[in-house]
Amino acid sequence: MKRFLLILACLLCCFAADAQDRYKAYCSIMGEQAVGSNAVSDVRIDYGQENQRRNYLVDEAGKRIDFPTMVAAMNYMAKRGWALEQTYVVRKESTIDNNHDRDVVVWILCKEVESDDEILEGLATGRTYK
């Protein structure tokens, strides 16, 4: 019996040593909308990349994905394993070129991953599309 328990303990240690720890990765999706409107324009993603140029989402053909609302963008992200953590809004005041106040809606999302390679799994941006 002791021998059996010793073998079992050794096997469990081998399996435990092979398992990788999962951690939360974060990203944000941001969209601009007219004050008082649900319609959103220019949804962008920030997953910690250094270069923020062309950070809009694209489909399998490399065509920019236009989301009608932030909820549509969130549903797209949820299908790829992302969950909503927090939201906030930043007001952009009108300027000479644009006489309408705009809100920048920011949704912070998270996803459990084992490696940084999993962060963009199922996602492509204008910058990363190949």
Q: What is the pLDDT of residues 26-54, one digit of tens each?
A: 999 999 887 777 777 789 999 887 777 77
pLDDT of 75: 97
pLDDT of 80: 94
Amino acid type, 92? K
Model pTM?
Answer: 0.74
Over residues 17-28, the mean pLDDT reads 82
**For residue 11, is it within any domain?**
no
Q: Which domain holds residue 56?
A: 21-118
Tell which residue, 81, 87, 69, 68, has the closest CA to residue 120.
81
Amino acid type, 51? N
**For residue 82, is it within any domain?**
yes
42-101 confidence digits (pLDDT tens): 899 998 877 777 788 999 999 999 999 899 999 999 999 999 999 999 987 766 666 667
**For residue 127, is it within any domain?**
no
**For residue 38, is it within any domain?**
yes
**For residue 123, is it within any domain?**
no
pLDDT of 41: 77
**For residue 130, is it within any domain?**
no
Number of folded domains that form the chain = 1
Residue 14, H or E segment: helix 2-18
